[in-house]
Amino acid sequence: MKFVDEATILVSAGDGGNGCVSFRREKYIPRGGPDGGDGGDGGDVYMQADENLNTLIDYRFEKSFRAERGENGQSRDCTGKRGKDIVIKVPVGTRIIDQGTGETLGDMMTHGQVQMVAKGGWHGLGNTRFKSSVNRTPRQKTMGTPGEKRDLQLELMLLADVGMLGLPNAGKSTFIRAVSAAKPKVADYPFTTLVPSLGVVRMDTEQSFVVADIPGLIEGASEGAGLGIRFLKHLERCRVLLHTIDLAPIDESDPIENARIILGELEKYSEKLFSKPRWLVFNKVDLLDQEEAESRAKAIAEALGWTDKYYLISAANRSGVTPLCWDVMSFINANPKEAEVEQKQPEKVEFMWDDYHRQQLEEAEAESGVEVEDDDWDDDWDEEDDEGVEIIYKR
């Protein structure tokens, strides 16, 4: 299945149903009073995280989603049926952004998590709501409000503990193949990896971590060179980055300069990502004798001003891979996820109809001179009045 990590969709909540103007007319009850019911609320639109999905490709073809409209009110005080909600399923790790405002509506971080993205319109009020002692035959009603519409940008960001970082052909995919059951494509030419991939590294029956491999970066990636930096977002949620450096580049380039290119592109993309814990991993030591490999690694570390521990491995023959994985496992156990993977949640998602309904009621009250109750209201109509003389006072 093709990996798609970005999509744009239009979501439309259902409109509210209109209120009804109706009067009770039955045999022997010629003046039964108003009995027009309220309309139904429009359906809402929700997003739900589903761990069984791993791509947004479905939303490249189906781009518009609409919830059901609320039904209009009917006579005999019948309230219209509420419109059905719709639920759009997305992969875990999807970020939802309102394109119109730039507002982040939510990060879908856990399986089953639900987020409202468009609120249905409010119901209109029937004429029963407007009756009073001085207006026994109200002909006012209100219309249902339109449901919200939003253009949403969906961004899938892989959830991994460890991110692989490096130039093309540094051996990142080979490393993932060596430590997990993932089988990304491996070849002796650049950009073999075209889409991100995940691998689960199981250290024992109770300990494991997830590694993310992204396409390699090259100089000028921040300006669109190569595959650009669009895949770097998949590393934002990693707890540690493994900066993989090829000790024996096939193009005979300078490993020091190659490492600086990666650091430069990382800094241009995001200061936060640049400041994440990062380990140096020197790969392909099997192509050099041990003494030369150690000498090159030391020289590169000194040139980069690296004072922390670094690792020499060969992903091809798995030399040095196991100690590295155990150190990563220890680091992950000692550094739990920040607030369960730092969800970028807004303080409160504002829906445009939250205040509109109250304004509509206030306008109706001003026009009719009657206080309108939209919640549980007290039916003060006296059926015994039907048999007597009806007197209407007009102000």
**CA angle 377-378-383, nearest 5°?**
135
Q: What is the mean pLDDT of the chain?
A: 78
- Residue 190 is assigned to a ligand binding site: no
- Per-residue model confidence as pLDDT tens digits over 240-267: 888 888 888 877 788 888 888 888 878 8
Name the superfamily (CATH) of residues 6-148+356-380: GTP1/OBG domain (2.70.210.12)
Q: Residue 89 pLDDT > 80, yes or no?
A: yes
Pair type for strands 64-66 and 86-91: unpaired
Phi, psi of 72 (to 5 degrees): -70, 155
- Residue 137 is assigned to a ligand binding site: no
Using pLDDT thresholds of 50, 70 and 90, give the confidence band for residue 333. Answer: confident
More confident residue, 32 or 184: 32
Using pLDDT thresholds of 50, 70 and 90, give the confidence band for residue 223. Answer: low
- Residue 195 is assigned to a ligand binding site: yes
- Residue 283 is assigned to a ligand binding site: yes
- Residue 16 is assigned to a ligand binding site: no
- Residue 209 is assigned to a ligand binding site: no
- Residue 241 is assigned to a ligand binding site: no
- Residue 285 is assigned to a ligand binding site: yes
- Residue 314 is assigned to a ligand binding site: yes
Pair type for strands 208-213 and 197-202: antiparallel
- Residue 214 is assigned to a ligand binding site: yes
- Residue 333 is assigned to a ligand binding site: no
Domain extents for the chain?
6-148+356-380, 162-342
Q: Which two tokens stand for residue 41?
A: 């609320």
Mean of pLDDT values over 96-103: 87
- Per-residue model confidence as pLDDT tens digits over 18-43: 989 888 888 777 777 888 888 999 99
In three-state secondary structure terms, 287 is helix
- Residue 118 is assigned to a ligand binding site: no
| Domains 6-148+356-380 and 162-342 agree in fold | no
CATH number of 162-342: 3.40.50.300
- Residue 246 is assigned to a ligand binding site: no
Task: Record the pTM.
Answer: 0.66
Share of the chain above pLDDT 90, in %: 11
- Residue 141 is assigned to a ligand binding site: no
Using pLDDT thresholds of 50, 70 and 90, give the confidence band for residue 336. Answer: confident
In angstroms, rounded to a whole number, what is the distance separating the alpha carbons of residues 374 and 282?
A: 69
